[in-house]
Amino acid sequence: MPDITVTTLVVLCLAAGAAGWIDAVVGGGGLLLLPALLLGLPNVPAAHILGTNKAVAIVGTSGAAVTYARKAPVKVGRALRIGLAALAGSMTGAFFAAGISSEVLRPVIMVVLLAVAAFVMLRPRFGRAPEDGTAPRVTRARSVTAIVLVGGGIGLYDGLFGPGTGTFLVLALTAVLHLDLVTASANAKIVNVCTNGGALAMFAYQGNVMWQLAGLMAVFNLAGGLVGARMALSRGSEFVRGVLLVVVFSLVAKLAFDQWNA
């Protein structure tokens, strides 16, 4: 582990906790955690930052996934199938990532995110649980679409570019499987565990994980993830919807800032 001041270590741990909370509620914790690592450890190679980020994030995501699975109506088998498709997609995306220009992708993603934000604001019923409490019927065609397009497609995006993957998963699962936002978040966490696990395995194989730092930050990330999952379960879809809009606009602002600097 590199030499880190106590102040920097405290800030990184607090950022890990906040990122775990955001990730558990609606995804997008990397918006906070990655910049914190990059700013706090400016002399550490980027590959080590990314590997450490995955080692931290998978702990909080796993804790949130278990919490959701115990309380929310999650079909674990279906979520795992989507997760395996996402894992394959992310590996494919990572393979081709060197040939893709992020400067080209950023404006496209910003437009998509703004369209998503407008849709969510204009459709207040989007992602709410049915008033009669019944679970929506999901056809086989929609299940296959979720595996191929949501899993494979968003997994491919994760490997190619990455920012906002968890948020895209929540939105896509809500739309394709007619889930409420809380249940979609629960399923997204299981999918995220699969994609994070594949990426972490590759980073670990390459020796690009600072395990001591990751272990300490993971404790805070896990705590944040558990708190976030419980808040989402207790406060419902309207709470998740509000956090979702904040994260979407934050992601747009970050991408715009990166594009400006580029």
Gap between the Cα atoms of 72 and 52, Å rounded: 30
Residues 90-120 have pLDDT tens digits of 888 777 755 656 566 667 767 777 877 787 7
**In this predicted structure, what is the pLDDT of residue 223?**
97
Q: Taking a C-beta distance cutoff of 8 angstroms, is the pair 4, 208 a contact?
A: no
Burial of 6 (0-12, 13-18, 19+ CB in 10 A): exposed
* Spans of the chain below 50 pLDDT: none
pLDDT, position 105: 61
Taking the C-alpha atoms of residue 120 and residue 241, their distance in angstroms, rounded to an integer, is 8
The pLDDT of residue 42: 85
Complete DSSP assignment for 87-126: HHHHHHHHHHGGGS-HHHHHHHHHHHHHHHHHHHHH-TTT
Quick check: is 223 in a domain? yes
Question: Which domain range does residue 129 map to?
Answer: 6-261
For the chain, the domain total comes to 1
Whether 1 is in a domain gets the answer: no
Give a yes or no: residue 212 inside a domain: yes
In a domain, 13, yes or no: yes
**What residues have CB less than 8 Å from 175, skipping those under 6 apart?**
none
